[in-house]
């Protein structure tokens, strides 16, 4: 009886703690929306209040109407880059992962370790030489320069290989009996049956591409090549944009991600768990 009430008290305590932490984790999102929809005077007011004095939905219109800020252009750039990066990565990494998992040839293991080894070289450390390479190709401030070098993700290749190793071989054997080669087996049998892993890797790559900052900062030197992150960052450090515009711009920038995130969340979690990094 006493034990029972102690267990129940423990449970209530844990729930209370979780709710408190959840609120703490949500506060930054609230601040983003609050400031985005407030008047500038509400943001810089010496008396901070939880609710702004009034809501200004016109801030959104003001942001896109502000010609000193190439914000719509940067959103478009980010969308193009994120979609191109996601599709390209899925195509290249899934093919490579499948090849490594299924097609027997002599140096398969060495190739796999050569790919895996690049995971150890943090991408950010190679930004100086990569910048040098891209600039000598004349790709500075181009979409090519922003997308192509990021397409070869060892992480994505690794996840696909691990997944295809566990893919039931019977399905492929049936296709083989029907006379399909590796290529057609891959497209007709393997891909249609692997949607969850494509969704998982695709979501992770999309979020990473949309949020990436250092590479677009280095390569997108021209204002017209800015991604949304670079645009936001340069507004933060310059005095051109007014605060409420800056906050509504940031709020707008996370909307596509929240949609993708909430829609594909289950798969992200599955993908993170399946990546097997802790095995």
Footprint (CB under 8 A) of another protein, residues 93-122: 93, 95-96, 98-100, 103, 111, 115, 118, 120-122
Q: Which of 1, 5, 22, 51 binds another protein (CB under 8 A)?
A: 22
Q: State yes or no: residue 39 binds another protein (CB under 8 A).
A: no
Hey, which residues between 160 and 219 contact another protein (CB under 8 A)?
Answer: 182-183, 186, 207, 210-211, 213-214, 218
Q: Which of 9, 12, 20, 27 binds another protein (CB under 8 A)?
A: 27
Q: State yes or no: residue 68 binds another protein (CB under 8 A).
A: no
Q: State yes or no: residue 273 binds another protein (CB under 8 A).
A: yes
Dihedral pair phi/psi, residue 274, rounded to 5° = -80, -20
Q: Which of 4, 46, 51, 67 binds another protein (CB under 8 A)?
A: 46
Please, what's the b/e burial string for 55-92 (b: 16 or more CB within 10 A of its CB; e: otherwise)?
A: ebeebbeebeebeebbbeebbebbeebbebbbebbbeb
DSSP 168-219: -HHHHHHHHHTT--HHHHIIIIIGGG-HHHHHHHHHHHHHHHHH--HHHHHH
| Interacting span for another protein (CB under 8 A) from 11-19, 55-63, 67-75, 194-202 | 11-19
Q: State yes or no: residue 9 binds another protein (CB under 8 A).
A: no
Q: Which of 2, 5, 125, 177 binds another protein (CB under 8 A)?
A: 125
Residues 6+ apart with CB under 8 A from 102: 164, 172, 182
Length of the chain: 279
Judged by beta carbon, residue 40 or residue 80, the one nearer another protein is 40
d(CA 215, CA 205): 15
Judged by beta carbon, residue 46 or residue 179, the one nearer another protein is 46
Q: State yes or no: residue 26 binds another protein (CB under 8 A).
A: yes
Q: State yes or no: residue 75 binds another protein (CB under 8 A).
A: no
* DSSP tally for the chain: helices H, then strands E: 14, 0
Judged by beta carbon, residue 174 or residue 269, the one nearer another protein is 269
């Amino acid at each position: 009886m006493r034990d029972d009430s102690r267990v129940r008290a423990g449970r209530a305590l844990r729930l209370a703690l979780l709710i408190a932490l959840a609120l703490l984790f949500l506060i930054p999102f609230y601040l983003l929306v609050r400031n985005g929809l407030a008047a500038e005077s509400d943001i810089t007011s010496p008396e901070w209040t939880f609710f702004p004095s009034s809501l200004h939905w016109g801030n959104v219109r003001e942001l896109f109407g502000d010609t000193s800020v190439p914000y719509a252009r940067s959103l478009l750039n980010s969308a193009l880059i994120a979609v191109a990066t996601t599709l390209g990565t899925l195509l290249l990494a899934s093919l490579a992962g499948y090849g490594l998992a299924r097609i027997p040839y002599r140096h398969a293991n060495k190739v796999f370790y050569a790919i895996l080894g690049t995971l150890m070289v943090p991408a950010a450390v190679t930004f100086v030489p990569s910048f040098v390479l891209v600039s000598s190709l004349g790709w500075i401030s181009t979409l090519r320069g922003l997308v192509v070098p990021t397409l070869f993700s060892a992480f994505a290749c690794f996840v696909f290989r691990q997944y295809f190793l566990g893919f039931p071989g019977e399905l492929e054997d049936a296709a083989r009996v029907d006379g399909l080669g590796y290529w057609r087996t891959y497209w007709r049998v393997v891909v249609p049956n692997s949607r969850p892993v494509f969704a998982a890797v695709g979501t992770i790559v999309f979020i990473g591409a949309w949020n990436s900052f250092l590479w677009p900062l280095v390569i997108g030197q021209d204002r017209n090549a800015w991604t949304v992150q670079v645009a936001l960052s340069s507004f933060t450090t310059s005095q051109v944009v007014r605060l409420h515009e800056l906050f509504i711009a940031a709020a707008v920038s996370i909307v596509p991600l929240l949609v993708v995130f909430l829609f594909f969340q289950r798969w992200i979690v599955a993908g993170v768990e399946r990546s097997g990094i802790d095995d």
